[in-house]
Amino acid sequence: MRALSRLKSLCTVHRELLFHLALKNLKVQYKYAFLGFLWAFFVPLCMALVFWFLFAFLWQRPIPPLSIVTALFVWQFVNMSIASSTTSIIDNAGLLKKVYIPREIVPLSIVLSNFINFLLSLVVLVVLVLIYTTFKAGHPILPVQILLLPPLVVVTFLMTSGFVLITSSLQVLYRDVKYIVEIALLIIFYLSGAFYEVDLIAAGAARKGIPWLVHLFMLNPIYDLFAMYRIVLLPSAISEMTVDISRYYPVWLVVSQTVVFSVLLFVAAYRMFLRREVDLVDLI
């Protein structure tokens, strides 16, 4: 009950402070950058171009470029939110010691600032899909599943916030956490199918006599997020990677698994954060 009342207070009483800090983070992030917010789009687009070149030209495995771009836009949000928020409580020790504010506002404001960038990147992605399908099919195409984008975005925010609340509170107790997080994010990215299809994992696992490995691979919640965004945003006509997940599990099972995981993670992480809140300021 405490977590619920605290969350309600965060969304009402402290809402303006949360948005103020989020906008401040955005201004600081791009303060001296000539291109400003455009870097939020250019970085994943450049990464997608590199991966597409490697697979399509060097390794002769053609992959639809928009599939890679979709995954990288999602990853940009998750990765930057977790990486930036992990040390946020320590970095804002002066503020937290001077005045009382709900401690979770600090890491969640960073998630929110990255979330604003993410929403803008989704608009860019939809425009890219319309342009790409116009050239490929002669007219713009958007899948009807795009109506599911708003709840999917909420699920993504909850999952990311859950991870952030855990890492930011643990970093106060154990100063090695940020290094572990950096390594973990790198490993998770390469194991999440951002630039390859799950069939590649299945084929390799079958050759090694460990076919169950593909099922373990698909338990990765970030992989499930990538798959869901591809299903929702990309017409199957332009991306084989949007349907490859259904060969192994029903799509509804992947969706429900991701939703349940995200909600439970956020609730558990928020309760853990509140239990440690009293000690956080003393330890920093």
pLDDT in tens, 112-163: 999 998 998 898 888 888 887 887 767 777 778 888 999 999 999 999 999 9
Domain range summary for the chain, segments of one domain joined by +:
36-283
Neighbours of 111 (CB within 10 A): 26
pLDDT digits (tens, 9 = 90+) for 97-120: 787 788 899 999 999 999 998 998
Q: What is the pTM of this model?
A: 0.88
Per-residue pLDDT reduced to its tens digit, 46-99: 777 777 777 666 666 667 778 888 888 999 999 999 999 999 988 887 878 787
CB of 215 closer than 8 Å to CB of 206: no
CA-CA distance, 23 to 32, in Å (whole number)? 15
Are 179 and 279 in contact by the 8 Å Cβ rule? The answer is no
> What residues contact 237, with CB distance under 8 A and at least 6 apart?
133, 136, 137, 141
> At what angle are helices 65-85 and 105-137 packed, to 10 degrees?
170
